[in-house]
Amino acid sequence: MTDLDPLIHAPKRLRIMTILHTADSVEFAFLQDRLGLSASDLSKQMSALAEAGYAKAKKTGRGPGSTTWYNLTRSGRAAYKSHVAALRALLDDAVELEGGATVEGDG
Amino acid sequence: MTESSARSQLEQMERDRLSVYVARSKVPWWYLPALGIGTGLMLASYELAHPLMTVVVVLAYVAGVGGMVRVMLDEVGILPKFRGMPASLLRPLTVFFAVALVVVFGGAVGALFFEAPWGYLELGVVACVVLWGGGRLALRVHEARAQRLADEMGIER
């Protein structure tokens, strides 16, 4: 079974990764609006993901009108997929255990 | 990690995934009119201007559409993947793109190579109506369906 990724496991970062995984590219303000995070908090989370090599940033424009777009890297996509697989496996294990317990209880 | 927290994380992830698709449309008001008028003028120019001028017009059109899309994306803030889009939201956009493609490219190819009974001026007018009016209609249907899906899933738009 794949392990849960501790970096992605944090709720805010998991939500960011989910949105990034759903899009080719996402702008900073969109993420902030969807997740209800402050600019500094979102910057901190994005830096952590970028340092891990899971996300990369691209600035467009200059000055006050400039925007920052993010997208997942290949390793970010792989990490996200394996984290989701680990979560699903956890649920499947729990269902199997429940099933086993019910069978034993019936016997 | 417990089963219930894994379940609630997966549910939250599904809501976040859908929230990308049901987010309120921020396509600027000028985008579809500009696309319609620009495409219409580009097609009509073949009839109205010297053929060599058409090359300049087509190049200007391609550059203009590229710039417009960039500005529009900056307003919208996201480029979602069409692959994961719920079918009910994807359908109006697919129909619009298909109709626009048939009208613009099919119409131009027909006029250029098959002596179709329409001229470029008529084609330009029809393309303008399809892109502007059809685009607005497709966006309106998409918005209504997105609102319904957001209500069903309890997602704030």
A19 with B16: Cβ contact below 8 A: yes
A15 touches chain B (CB under 8 A): yes
Which long-range contacts (C-beta less than 8 Å, at least 24 apart) are formed by B37-41? B37/B128, B37/B132, B38/B64, B38/B65, B38/B68, B39/B104, B39/B124, B39/B127, B39/B128, B39/B131, B40/B124, B40/B125, B40/B127, B40/B128, B40/B131, B41/B124
CA distance to A10, A40, B27, B33, B143, per residue, from B140 (Å): 37, 35, 11, 15, 5
> What confidence category does residue A107 fall into, taking pLDDT thresholds of 50, 70 and 90?
very low
* Amino acid code (one letter) for B13: M
Of residues A62 and B43, more confidently modeled: B43
Report percent pLDDT > 70 for chain A. Answer: 89
| Percent of chain A residues past pLDDT 90, beyond the cut | 73
pLDDT higher than threshold 80 for residue A28: yes
Nearest CA in chain B to A61: B74
Distance from CA of B21 to the nearest CA of A (A): 9
Which has more confidence, B112 or A84? Answer: A84
DSSP A63: G
pLDDT of residue B97: 95
CA–CA dist B105, B111 (Å, integer): 10
| ipTM for the complex shown | 0.83
pLDDT of residue A42: 97
**Is residue A40 scored above 60 in pLDDT?**
yes
- A102 or B85, higher pLDDT: B85
> To which residue do tokens 């970062």 refer?
A13
Cβ atoms of residues B147 and B157 within 8 Å: yes
Query: Which residue do the tokens 């996201």 mark?
Result: B78
Residue of B nearest to A87 (CA): B6
Over residues B125-152, the pLDDT tens digits come to: 999 999 999 999 999 999 999 999 999 9
- Residue A78 CB partners (closer than 8 Å, separation 6+): none
Q: What is the pLDDT of residues B10-25, one digit of tens each?
A: 999 999 999 999 998 8
Report pLDDT digits (tens) over B44-74. Answer: 888 877 778 888 888 999 999 999 998 899 8
* B52 contact A CB<8A: no
Q: What is the mean pLDDT of chain A?
A: 89
What pLDDT was estimated at residue A85?
95
Is the confidence at residue B7, as pLDDT, over 80?
yes
Question: Is the confidence at residue A27, as pLDDT, over 60?
Answer: yes
Question: pTM score, two decimals?
Answer: 0.84
Confidence of residue A101 (pLDDT cuts 50, 70, 90): low
pLDDT band at A106 (very low <50, low <70, confident <90, very high): low
Rounded Cα distance between A92 and A45, Å, is: 30
- Beta carbons of B76 and B27 less than 8 angstroms apart: yes
Closest-CA distance, A44 to chain B, in angstroms, reads 20
Cα gap A12→B83, rounded to integer Å:
25
pLDDT the model gives residue A1: 56
Contact call for B6 and A23, based on CB within 8 A: no
Report the alpha-carbon distance of residue B20 to residue A98 in Å, rounded: 35
Q: Phi, psi (5° rounding) for residue A68?
A: -115, 125
Q: Does A101 touch chain B (CB under 8 A)?
A: no
By the CB < 8 Å criterion, does A14 face chain B? yes
Inform me whether the pLDDT recorded for A103 exceeds 60: no
Please report which helix (H) or strand (E) contains residue A58, including its range. strand A55-60
pLDDT of residue A96 exceeding 80: no
Q: A45 and A12 in contact (C-beta within 8 Å)?
A: yes
**Residue of chain B nearest A29, judged by CA positions:** B77
Q: Are B27 and B75 in contact (CB under 8 A)?
A: yes
